[in-house]
């Protein structure tokens, strides 16, 4: 099986309620892209037009390895319509507010799965019917955990435990899968020379690296002050990654506590456990179940989920009150509910056909809609699991 062989194999379109106006302070754009992630492309556009990045707003982050369509606002009157072979940024109207996640209803997917045997095609076809009837667990997928350091874990967890030195070390030395070779080598250098701030400063390249290592060269233990320099949006993403990890862990334990027959698919931050079928009682419970994201104040749907979550925090050496950060306050943990299972809308499967890229194999195309925040790649994991 092959996924995302070419960008056209994974097409994602945002579904949004857009309060369009004939004129307004926010110009609305449709961003079509491939080979770019959302933030990097918007940073480049901001730089190219000499505008602060804070003027750009979007509803969700879209994957680099896909052909994606999403809405972006810019609080600036000029028409910034531009493009090249890998993206097109087209002005389509105005709004009197910035784009944001609250305007998104979901995403529409068109996915091609390649290099399939006849047996794999048959298995996927059966599993489409299972998912139509029973949905699938609404886990956050691997791409949410790019900021997790494979050796040191989550920056946010270190911060919650008041391990400020370790938290800062993950922030400045954690290597992301998509980073360029030069950035990875520089971060390895920082980790090898951690604590020798003058040496680290000599290799600093980004503005943030220079600012933090300059501070530490003057005040070697000023870890909290250094953490306070991290931009709010960046810190929010790091917090979200840890909340996503805890959500996944809670959902895994709920499914295990129900005594379901589960199959495991490996993940970068823990296995994804999937059921194949559900009894009516279990289906009714899971369809109505929403689990809260971690914060100091959380509302649980029942005693089972509250007890399971308490056990997770105890194992990790964290208290609920720790989520109310006192020292680093430019971002915060907010608890919102997330559905435990998801049912794809308008779900259809085209008949298999010969794969033009893999002779002798077959390909199939899937079309479906998912609510905001649910992962199409997780559905593919469910359909192709062992």
Condensed to tens digits (0 to 9), the pLDDT of residues 344-361 reads 999 999 999 999 999 999
Residue owning tokens 């006849």: 118
Average pLDDT of the segment spanning 221-230:
97
d(CA 175, CA 173): 6
Average pLDDT of the segment spanning 226-243:
95
284 — pLDDT class (breaks 50, 70, 90): very high
Token pair of 306 as six digits:
């509250």
d(CA 316, CA 300): 20
157 — pLDDT class (breaks 50, 70, 90): very high
Residue 111 CB contacts under 8 Å (≥ 6 apart), including other chains: 3, 9, 10, 11, 365, 366, 367, 376, 380
d(CA 258, CA 273): 13
d(CA 41, CA 192): 31
Q: What is the mean pLDDT of the chain?
A: 96
d(CA 371, CA 145): 20
- Domains of the chain, with CATH numbers? 1-133+343-385 (3.30.2350.20), 155-231 (no CATH), 234-341 (no CATH)
Structure confidence at residue 230 (pLDDT): 96
Structure confidence at residue 319 (pLDDT): 95
Condensed to tens digits (0 to 9), the pLDDT of residues 328-347 reads 999 999 999 999 999 999 99
pTM as predicted? 0.93
Condensed to tens digits (0 to 9), the pLDDT of residues 193-224 reads 999 999 999 999 999 999 999 999 999 999 99
DSSP string, 279-321: -HHHHHHHHH-EEEPPSSS---SSHHHHHHHHHHHHHHT--GG
Average pLDDT of the segment spanning 155-175:
96
177 — pLDDT class (breaks 50, 70, 90): confident
d(CA 245, CA 5): 28
């Amino acid at each position: 099986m092959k996924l995302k062989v070419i960008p056209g194999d994974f097409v994602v379109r945002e579904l949004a309620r857009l309060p369009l106006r004939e004129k307004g302070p926010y110009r609305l754009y449709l961003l079509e892209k491939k080979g770019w992630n959302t933030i990097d492309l918007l940073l480049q556009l901001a730089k190219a037009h000499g505008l602060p990045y804070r003027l750009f707003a979007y509803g969700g982050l879209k994957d680099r390895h896909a052909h994606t369509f999403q809405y972006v606002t810019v609080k600036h009157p000029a028409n910034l319509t531009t493009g090249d072979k890998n993206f097109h940024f087209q002005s389509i109207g105005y709004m009197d507010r910035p784009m944001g996640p609250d305007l998104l209803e979901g995403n529409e997917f068109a996915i091609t799965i390649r290099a399939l045997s006849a047996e794999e095609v048959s298995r996927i076809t059966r599993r489409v019917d299972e998912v139509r009837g029973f949905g699938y667990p609404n886990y956050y997928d691997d791409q949410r955990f790019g900021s997790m350091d494979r050796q040191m874990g989550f920056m946010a967890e270190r911060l919650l435990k008041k391990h400020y030195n370790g938290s800062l070390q993950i922030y400045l030395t954690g290597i992301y899968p998509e980073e360029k070779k030069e950035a990875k080598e520089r971060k390895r250098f920082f980790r090898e020379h951690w604590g020798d701030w003058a040496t680290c400063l000599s290799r600093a390249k980004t503005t943030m690296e220079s600012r933090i290592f300059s501070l530490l060269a003057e005040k070697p233990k000023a870890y909290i002050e250094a953490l306070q320099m991290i931009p709010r949006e960046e810190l929010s993403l790091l917090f979200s990654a840890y909340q996503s990890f805890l959500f996944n862990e809670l959902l895994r334990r709920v499914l295990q506590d129900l005594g379901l027959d589960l199959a495991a698919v490996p993940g970068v931050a823990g296995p994804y456990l999937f059921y194949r079928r559900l009894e009516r009682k279990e289906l009714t419970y899971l369809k109505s179940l929403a689990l809260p994201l971690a914060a100091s104040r959380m509302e649980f749907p029942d005693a089972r989920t509250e007890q399971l979550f308490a056990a997770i925090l105890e194992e990790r050496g964290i208290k609920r009150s720790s989520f109310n950060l006192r020292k680093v306050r430019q971002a915060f943990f907010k608890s919102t509910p997330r559905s435990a299972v998801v049912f794809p809308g308008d779900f259809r499967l085209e008949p298999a056909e010969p794969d033009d890229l893999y002779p002798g194999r077959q390909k199939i195309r899937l079309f479906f809609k998912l609510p905001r925040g649910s992962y199409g790649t997780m559905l593919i994991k469910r359909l192709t699991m062992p």
